[in-house]
Structure 1
Amino acid sequence: MLVIPRVLCFLFSGEDVLLLHHAPDRKDWPGRYNGIGGHVELGEDARSAALREIAEEAGVPIADLRLRGVIHVVPSETEPGVILFVFTAQALARDVRASEEGTPVWVPLRALSTVDAVEDVPVILERVLAMGPDAPPFFGVSTRGEEGRVCLSIPGDSGNNP
Structure 2
Amino acid sequence: MAKPRANEKELAMWAVDRVQEFGGVLEHPKQSKLWPAKKLPLPNEVDQFGGWTLPIFQCNFGHTAEKPTYLYIVGISPESMPPMPISPGAKACIIGSHGRRSDGSRLSPGDYGYRKSCFRPDREHTPPLLAAWLVEIARRCVPCR
TM-score band, normalised by the shorter chain? under 0.3
Q: Rg larger in 1 or in 2?
A: 2
TM-score (norm 1): 0.23
TM-score of the pair, normalised by structure 2: 0.24
Structure richer in helix, relative to its length: 2
